[in-house]
């Protein structure tokens, strides 16, 4: 693997010292957030280089292809790459981007704090893993008592997944040491033994697993089949000013999800798209590993927004202390686009 570029790392200085030279075992370097286009240009949609966001690159490419051969509306979507949730949250809050794939509990919290954002679609299901070193003796969470475990954010549904797994063995987060860390830095941290385990979305579990120094302790595909994490979120002024554009984006995301789950050949095409410098800028073999080991490690075909699932996420977030009190469903959700959706037929 290519060495990670410390200049691009979003770790705090103490974490940089902790990792030292071990970043050589990390994923290929990822670029900083993409520059945000002018309001008159393409709609920039923020996302992380994680396979939970894979429907976004597919939607962008499919819409660009449609623009070349259609006399209809010529909308444009552009993927704006970020390495961490705090940065993407700040850009969305400040209006530097109008749309993004976001953590569902984080959107609930933002809406409750009167930030004008709404969830308009899911982006995936499943896709989170808890990784430990291959040479470790860890089999159960009891074995991780007192150990350092990295998560992307306390607002991440990955953290709720970790809490679920701890609870199964009568444990709480107080029984472990939790470290917040951008997902791209996690494989290097595990390799360096700076953490004993990490919980995140793919492909950052697959990267270490494929490299041979990590194995999955738990996967959402086995433990939480209806798991959702990343949701397509837009600012309310975009809904107000350009509903047609938002609907077209939702149609393409839903179409991309169906296309991805139709056949492996489509997933192979998606791997080639996402691996490019314009999108995830990752080794295609790592993304392909996620798509095949097993094939339902992440799924995209069922992107229904089910109120009970979001209310479960909220209750888990309240128990975790990341959301202080219940947030009205209508405050953070706009189901109108999903109800009106006609998933685009993807022909890539």
Tokens of 313: 């996420």
pLDDT in tens, 21-55: 333 333 333 333 333 333 468 999 999 999 999 99
Closest CA to 40 of 308, 241, 255, 180: 241
Contact predicate 173/141, CB 8 Å: no
Segment holding 160, helix H or strand E: helix 157-168
Contact predicate 231/306, CB 8 Å: no
Three-state DSSP state, 180 = strand
Q: In what order do the strands lie in the sheet with 117-122?
A: 77-81, 43-47, 99-103, 230-235, 117-122
Interatomic CA distance for residues 269 and 155, integer angstroms: 32
Contact predicate 138/144, CB 8 Å: yes
Contact predicate 115/327, CB 8 Å: no
Interatomic CA distance for residues 10 and 183, integer angstroms: 10
How much is the pLDDT for 163? Answer: 97
How much is the pLDDT for 40? Answer: 61
Q: Which CATH number fits domain 43-125+229-339: 3.40.50.2020, 3.40.718.10, 3.50.50.60, 3.40.190.10?
A: 3.40.190.10
Enumerate residue ranges in the chain where pLDDT < 50.
1-39
Strands 117-122 and 230-235: antiparallel
Q: How many residues does the chain have?
A: 348
DSSP sequence for 119-156: EEEE--EE-EEEEEETTS---SGGGGTT-EEEES-TTS
Query: Can you give the residue ranges of every domain in the chain?
Result: 6-28+127-223, 43-125+229-339
Torsion, Cα 122 292 194 213, to 10 degrees, reads 180
Q: Which CATH number fits domain 6-28+127-223: 3.20.20.60, 3.40.190.10, 3.40.50.300, 3.40.190.80?
A: 3.40.190.10
Closest CA to 252 of 226, 232, 268, 237: 232
Phi-psi bin for 20: left (phi > 0), alpha (psi -120 to 50), beta? left
Interatomic CA distance for residues 183 and 190, integer angstroms: 11
Q: Using omega within 30 degrees of 0 as the cis cutoff, is the peptide bond preceding 181 cis?
A: no
Q: Is 43-125+229-339 in the same CATH topology as 6-28+127-223? A: yes
How much is the pLDDT for 71? Answer: 64
Match 């819409």 to its residue by tokens.
Answer: 63
Strands 197-201 and 148-151: parallel
């Amino acid at each position: 693997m290519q060495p990670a570029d410390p200049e691009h790392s979003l770790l705090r200085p103490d974490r940089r010292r902790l990792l030292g030279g071990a970043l050589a075992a990390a994923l290929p370097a990822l670029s900083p957030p993409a520059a945000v286009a002018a309001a008159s240009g393409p709609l920039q949609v923020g996302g992380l280089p994680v396979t939970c966001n894979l429907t976004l690159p597919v939607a962008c490419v499919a819409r660009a292809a449609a623009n070349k051969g259609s006399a209809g509306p010529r909308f444009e979507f552009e993927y704006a790459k970020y390495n961490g949730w705090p940065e993407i949250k700040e850009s969305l809050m400040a209006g530097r981007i109008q749309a993004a794939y976001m953590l569902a509990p984080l959107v609930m919290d933002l809406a409750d704090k009167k930030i004008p954002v709404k969830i308009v679609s899911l982006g995936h299901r499943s896709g989170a893993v808890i990784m430990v070193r291959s040479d470790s003796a860890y089999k159960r969470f009891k074995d991780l008592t007192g150990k350092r475990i990295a998560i992307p954010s306390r607002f991440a549904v990955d953290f709720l997944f970790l809490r679920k797994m701890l609870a199964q063995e009568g444990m709480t987060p107080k029984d472990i040491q939790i470290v917040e860390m951008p997902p791209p830095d996690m494989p290097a941290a595990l390799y360096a033994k700076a953490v004993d385990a990490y919980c995140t979305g793919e492909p950052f579990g697959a990267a270490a697993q494929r490299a041979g120094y990590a194995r999955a302790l738990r996967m959402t595909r086995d433990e939480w089949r209806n798991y959702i994490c990343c949701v397509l979120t837009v600012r309310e002024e975009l809904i107000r000013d350009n509903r047609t554009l938002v609907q077209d984006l939702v149609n393409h995301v839903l179409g991309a999800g169906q296309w991805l789950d139709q056949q492996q050949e489509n997933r192979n095409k998606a791997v080639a798209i996402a691996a490019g410098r314009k999108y995830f800028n990752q080794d295609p073999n790592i993304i392909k590993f996620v798509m095949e080991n097993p094939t339902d490690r992440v799924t995209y075909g069922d992107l229904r927004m089910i109120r009970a699932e979001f209310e479960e996420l909220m209750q888990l977030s309240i128990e975790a202390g990341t959301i202080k009190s219940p947030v009205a469903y209508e405050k953070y959700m706009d189901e109108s686009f999903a109800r009106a959706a006609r998933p685009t037929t993807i022909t890539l």
